[in-house]
Amino acid sequence: MHDDGPSTGGFDELTAAVSRAELLAHCYRMLGSATDAEDVVQEVYLRAWRAFHRFEGRSSTRTWLYKIATNTCLTALESRARRPLPTGLGTDASDPAVPVVADTETRWLGPLPDAALGDPADAATRKESVGLAMAAALQHLPATQRAVLILRDVLAFSAAETAGLLDVSVASANSALARARKTLAAVRARDTAIGEGARADRLTAHEQRVWDEFCAAFERYDIDGVVSVLAADAVWEMPPFPGWYRDAERIGELSRAQCPAQRPGDLAMVPTTANGLPAAGMYLRDGDEWRPFQLDVLTISGGAVTHVGAFFEPALFALAGLPDRLTDPGAPTAILGRVESTATE
């Protein structure tokens, strides 16, 4: 008898029980990088396809896929140190007058553009959203503890299910969870630079104006306007540059001294969302075009911007559904503040 291998239709039907968005969010939490998570999710589906003919329904499809995803992430993490943000390095705030120098050797934490998760109206996507502050805090946990905490406290697997997913005893899983919770609480109490900001889909009218003005001020090259929407003790960090900056006025000094823009129109801002937070793709003028420069992710709290993570990773623009170049300088302003213009395209 000839075996034609697994049925594509049967595999698709089985794996449809867990959305790709759920797996991507899980892998991002584990890895701290949207681009790495994308690569791992591809590997997860490949491993699941290869093991499909052995799946006999002894566990749920959800448990089966999360076991593959979690162990694929743990394998990926074996030779990788944690991904920090500059504020997580334990250094003092930097002098904005000192020229910035990129550290390309460190593997930095990155954001997760919401568009990478698909339709933001999907209930599973909302459930699987992850804040930047939590993503940074999770990086302080050893890989296995990170996995246990995510499986138990985020995905609501039972202690027995978690132990089975990781091939450890229930006692070991519970012990790892206790240690992870203790470490995470200490980290979040100590590392307060980011904080929890207003979700982009729940902004008040004032918070929306703050986001709009942040973008518009950069397009006008109005640094005073940028400073005006920052909290007095705001923090700015921009991996792969290891320095970080505290205080609205000093952040203004940084922008004046080291931003390559020199006049109105040099920068174009296209609003988007990442980690559930307001964000914007910043484009820098290059002749008659504007090309991706940095993706800014904003924490807005207390009616002002308290933290900006500026990420110099061009691949993030594609994940966010943003164009790889702009040719019409009026286009960014025309969609300013319209989250849906980028989130649903």
Q: Among residues of the chain, what percentage have pLDDT more than 90?
A: 72
Share the mean pLDDT of the chain: 88
The verdict on 174 and 225 lying in the same domain is no
Residue 279 maps to a domain: yes
> Is 115 domain-assigned?
yes
Range of the domain at 90: 8-190
Q: Give the residue-averaged pLDDT of 269-291.
A: 95
Lowest mean pLDDT among 53-62, 273-282, 330-339: 330-339
Residue 331 has pLDDT above 70, yes or no: no
Which of 190, 224, 244 is a domain's end point?
190
pLDDT value at position 119? 67
Binned at pLDDT 50, 70 and 90, residue 80 comes out as: confident
128 against 18, higher pLDDT: 18
175 with 230, same domain: the answer is no
Is 94 found in the same domain as 44?
A: yes
Q: Are residues 161 and 211 in the same domain?
A: no
Q: Span 5-34, mean pLDDT? A: 81
Q: Mean pLDDT, to the nearest integer, of 214-229?
A: 96
Whether residue 183 is found in the same domain as residue 204: no
Q: Would the pTM count as exceeding 0.95?
A: no
Mean pLDDT of the region 207-212: 97
What is the pLDDT averaged over residues 129-144?
90
One domain for residues 64 and 162: yes
For the segment 326-340, the average pLDDT, to the nearest whole number, is 54
Of 5-19, 87-101, 328-342, the least confident = 328-342
Q: How many domains does the chain have?
A: 2
Tokens of 287: 């002749």
Please check whether residue 195 lies inside any domain of the structure.
no
* CA–CA dist 35, 15 (Å, integer): 22
Q: Are 114 and 272 in contact (CB under 8 A)?
A: yes
Q: Give the mean model confidence (pLDDT) for residues 265-271.
A: 95
Domain shared by 267 and 169, yes or no = no
The whole-angstrom distance between residue 233's C-alpha and the CA centroid of its chain comes to: 23
**Which of 166, 190, 214 is at the close of a domain?**
190
What CATH number is given to the structural domain containing 334? 3.10.450.50
pLDDT for 5 beyond 80: no
pLDDT of residue 7: 55
Q: For residue 148, is it within any domain?
A: yes
Domain match, 334 and 222 both: yes
Q: Is residue 3 part of a domain?
A: no
Residue 336: pLDDT above 60? no
Domain match, 39 and 162 both: yes
Q: Residues 186, 228: one domain?
A: no
Q: What is the pLDDT of residues 232-255, one digit of tens each?
A: 999 999 999 999 999 999 999 999
For 121-135, 141-155, 267-281, which range has the lowest pLDDT when averaged over its residues? 121-135
Q: Please report whether residue 337 resides in a domain.
A: yes
Position 122 scores a pLDDT of 57
Which residue bears the tokens 């306007």? 225
Average pLDDT over residues 45-62: 77
Mean pLDDT of 170-189: 95
Confidence (pLDDT) at 225 = 97
Co-location of 164 and 256 in the same domain: no
Residue 182 and residue 204 share a domain: no
- Does any domain span residue 186? yes
